[in-house]
Structure 1
Amino acid sequence: MLDALLDLAELIAAFGGGAFGAALGPLPAFIFTGFMVIAGESATLVDPEAAAITGQVAFGPPFSPAISFAGGVAATAYAARRGYMDTGFDYHEAKNITFALGTKPDVLAVGGAFGILGYWLTVLSAELGMPYDPIAMGVVLSAFAHRLILGYSIIGKVRGANILDMGPFERDEMRVMGESATNGGETQAAAPTADAQKERLKVEPWLPHQYKWSHVAMIGLAAGILGAYVGVRTGSAFLGFGISAASLVFLNCGVEKIPVTHHMTLPAATAALAVYVPADGVVAQGAPVAYDSGALLAGTGVEVALIVGLVFGVVSALFGELFQRIFYAHGDTHVDPPAAAIVFGIFLVAVMYALGVFPTTVYVPFF
């Protein structure tokens, strides 16, 4: 484990990946992850030797979400704290993950430093064989780390009836923020000038068009089916994720109401592959950790696999919404609900394997 943590080439590359993610902006960097996953998984279907495109580029130092995206998120929080950002963003500037931060040296250095942290967090999870997606966990832990290190609140101040209440957003209830206030706290200064204030919603949903429970469940159902179908037809747990991630180019360009679905398609595809065995007996692209032919759902057909994917899509979608209501809506920086949902959804695959329901965990390590 120590050798992997201290691999100099990977550390240098992770610094570059985090800095580049900051320069591009977190969401644009993640969109490139999606494009590279599509390229890598497509190439691997033709030539298994091309797996390095996914493993070493899309999920390696250049574009691993735990490195480039998380590094960009931390750099955005730093730039906002330093007063470098004035984009007119509706929420706190530290939540503006669509914004490219450019070439400012200290901002890129922060991105690079958190890129290394993301690499370490990923390696630790992988080397310890933890039964969840190590990259997604790296994104989540990196976000909590930047909040602690940069002096932001972990949750923020709850201003609704309870921590899950989105009512203040629905009623357009605002708070006035002073520029001198820290951690997003309200200023108490008397009669401040308009230039020294910014109005913010009391509660800020991660996606204003995708937060109602029924809506989230429905998009989870649809995305879960499609992610599962792509998975069982190609043998790739990751191709549907790549398509979902790449689709966010439209969201980044300002197209309204584009749904975010990568945290639905990845768990759905993984769960579907765990229960589906094609006629030729090949379980999935990439060897599973183990295969239990006596499991309850061993060797099912496509129809059952799609239903399993549907369920995992809905569950992961709803968990992502629960996470955003707790950790995003009241805070001042971006903590990624999809990453948390992927951790949860993939962990459920491991749980189903442990209970003897799924015959394999596909790519998920198991103790």
Structure 2
Amino acid sequence: MRMLLRGAAALATLVTVGSLTSGAAAHPRPGQSEGTARVAPAAQIPEGVTAGVAVFDRATGAFTEQVNESARFRSASVVKLLLTLDFLWNRGPGYSVPAADRARLEPMLRSSDDDAADHYWSAYGGSAIIDRMTARLGLRDTAPPPAGYEGFWGYTALSARDTVTIYRYVLEKAPAPVRDFVMDNLRRSTRCSSTDHFDQHFGIAGSFDRPWAVKQGWSGRYGEQDCGRQGAAPAGNGTVSGPAPRAAADVDLTRPALHTTGTVGADDRAVVAVLTLHPVGTPYGKAYTDIGRLTRSLNVPGATRPAGSWFGTWGESVNVRTGPATGDDRITRLPAGAEVLVGCQVRGQEVSVPPYTNDWWAYLPQYGGYMSNIYVSSPDNRLPDVPECAAARP
């Protein structure tokens, strides 16, 4: 196993699901700064999920969601934001990212490349990077990986409110070339991660129409994924081979994590951070669905929610294709059991999975492709309350 772990663990000042909405106040406490007044959260936390949530409206300077926002979670790949900012710190107004570093940083931000993170962690001081960035940005809950795991960049502790602080620095204080480099790459987030081929367009990317920019994170034994390619891929980002790692005094290193962070809306109006932990053994498609439902429940100013109806799916690695036929090119494969948005449906090639057959296909606007209705969790071949597509989609 490589010393530099691909992803992360969680420091636990975590609150159980039943108490996540407690303590919300309608007015700021004495001494609270601008933007910290609390309103009752809209967040709907799925059963069994532990979550830290913060949504900040840059137009009003106020949070619209704060749930367990100071709780420390393992950062997983969200820490790659700090690795990037540390490398670009004090480079000067005329600085141009060298070609070799651009070739690492771009896939690290867009496709969550872990080899690039390994490089920057080892080359620039490991935990010292976290110490530097915590001081520079005034982060309150962020901390280096715990004792015994210093080489594991993904075990960096991070909270939802600190994640908002990181994005606000990039958008409001960073030199323009740094801001543009980081945000341009996050806007180009790829559907499939480059290292372990996970479908990383969950949460923000699956809940809202563009414009958005995202940096996602995942860690745990989710099983094999094969987003967008033939054959199986390695287990998820942050998976440790062999027995589960021992738990440090205040660190949960066992529950699978899934995080969605970024900005939503014109001019990056809303900064969104949703950090989650799921019960051990949770399939990736279930975690993918749960974080999607949670994200869609949030009050996100400036967000445009896509039209369509949400449906559950069944089956392993269901293909999404460019047209309603099994011979059409494959765009990607769905995580097993993932919930999908259906925009319309059309008759196409008949698909048979004995004892069932179905010639209806669902158009998934957020994938830009079709999947057979036979894999949609619905009793009828034709999905209820879903219109027929006016014409074949490109």
**Fold agreement, TM-score > 0.5:** no
Tell which has more relative contact order, 1 or 2 (C-alpha 8 A, sep 6+): 1
Give the TM-score of the pair, scaled to structure 1.
Answer: 0.27
TM-score, normalising length: structure 2:
0.26
Q: Name whichever structure is richer in helix by fraction.
A: 1
